């Protein structure tokens, strides 16, 4: 399953509260592009039949079957890319750490 850093979990909870999505259920999806790169996405949602549901850092995370293998071992973080510019990033095992 995916790992969520404390910084990302705090920002997800804040975003959920702002959106009125309490308790937050975060859907994480991934697909492999034609070039072999993996594209990740996320958003607040409800679980559906066949989803994997897990509590990660106090966040209910759902992943659909087609995405399971691609999100396994991935870390979701919330980092400062440039001064004042914060973003969520998905880091796969073996990839360089974010700045």
CATH of residue 17: 2.60.300.12
The structure's pTM equals 0.85
Residue 99 has pLDDT above 70, yes or no: no
Residue 15 belongs to a domain = yes
Contacts for 17 with CB less than 8 Å, ≥ 6 apart = none
Domain count, the chain: 1
Q: 28 lies in which domain range?
A: 3-91
At 35, which helix (H) or strand (E)? none
Question: Is 43 a member of any domain?
Answer: yes
Q: Measured between alpha carbons, how far is residue 60 from residues 18, 97, 98 in Å? A: 17, 25, 24
Q: Is the dihedral of CA 28, 41, 39, 80 positive or negative?
A: negative
| pLDDT level of residue 94 (50, 70, 90 thresholds) | confident
Question: Hey, what are 52's tokens?
Answer: 């994997």
Confidence of residue 98 (pLDDT cuts 50, 70, 90): very low
Specify whether the CB–CB gap between 81 and 87 falls below 8 A. yes
């Amino acid at each position: 399953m995916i790992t969520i850093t404390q910084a990302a979990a705090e920002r997800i909870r804040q975003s959920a509260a702002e959106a009125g999505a309490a308790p937050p259920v975060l859907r994480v999806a991934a697909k492999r592009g034609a070039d072999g790169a993996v594209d990740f996405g996320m958003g607040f949602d409800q679980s559906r039949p066949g989803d994997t549901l897990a509590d990660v850092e106090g966040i209910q995370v759902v992943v659909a079957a087609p995405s399971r293998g691609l999100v396994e071992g991935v870390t979701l973080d919330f980092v400062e890319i440039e001064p004042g510019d914060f973003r969520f990033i998905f880091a796969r095992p073996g990839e360089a750490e974010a700045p």
